[in-house]
Structure 1
């Protein structure tokens, strides 16, 4: 099998496409977020008051670098951090009102761009593709939703 047909190469190219579309659509609507920042904010919306390590786990991101992601969101006024009352070593993170409003406004754009990322697949193929991705990642349906 040639390199260009290997799953790793194709996954990398799809990731590039996804990242490019995310950046372009965010720029078009005047939102200054990366896809990782959006994922972190969405995790905070779903699980308010969690610590940075839990954010990293929820979005499958490296614990060592999530601090920088959260720091940039904090500088933008979208999240705030505080020391955990349960564990003084942990930093609890939550969305600010500005962060919640931005997420509410931008989420429909992110939902719409999913179809653009897989534009060459019909609805049935998209559902099958998502199911295969979950299977390849060994995720059950609940964990992926």
Structure 2
């Protein structure tokens, strides 16, 4: 597959655009920029919003299970949870059955923020996929899900339940 160019041939681009890893990384950079544009009034990163979304869907998970839901290692999960806790969006409570683990839940403010920013997140997703026809959007999502599921074991942090 050849990349489309509007100017003189760019040999580096021609090589890089044949590499799925390069294109995936570039799409991620573009998506983060779009996400941050949509969330400019709130200081929330894609990782923070993803983690809060998982907590909203699965309240009371311990930090380790939460990290596995969103593909974060234990240290990163603890750091993100701490920052969100400091902002009053999450709370951690000791697990009565195992004092070494802490259950994570959204505060009322965290629940309000996740709900309030849902439309912003949706706009960022739609903007990223806007150049595609509806059938192509579905196909891309299906292909990405299949690649993640088939290659999950190669990640530093394996997603739970795949």
Taking structure 1 as the reference length, the TM-score comes to 0.90
Aligned length: 139
- How far the C-alpha of 1:112 sits from its partner, in A, is 2.1
1:48-105 residue CA offsets vs partner (Å, 9 max, x unmatched): 1111111100011122211100011001100011111121100111100000001111
* Structure-to-structure mapping, 1:16-55, within 5 angstroms: 16-27=29-40, 30-55=41-66
1:11 corresponds in structure 2 to: 24
Classify the secondary structure of the residue corresponding to 1:137: helix
| Aligned partner of 1:120 among 131, 134, 143 | 131
Report the CA distance between 1:32 and its aligned residue.
1.3
Q: 2:140 aligns with which of 110, 113, 129?
A: 129
Structure 2 residue runs without a partner (length 5+) = 1-13, 151-160
Q: Which has the higher contact order (CA 8 A, sep 6+)?
A: 2
Moved over 2 A (4+): none
Residue 102 of structure 1 is matched in structure 2 by 113
Q: Residues of 1 paired with 2:16 and 2:27: CA distance?
A: 15
SS at the partner of 1:2?
helix
* Counterparts of 1:25 and 1:8, CA distance in 2: 26
Contact 2:95 / 2:101 at 8 angstroms: preserved in 1? yes
Mapped to 2, the partners of 1:47 and 1:136 lie a distance apart of 24
Q: Which residue of 1 aligns with 2:79?
A: 68
CA distance in 1, matches of 2:64, 2:27: 27
**TM-score normalised according to structure 2 size:** 0.81
Q: Please, which runs of 5 or more residues in structure 1 have no aligned partner?
A: none
Q: What is the deviation of 1:5?
A: 2.0
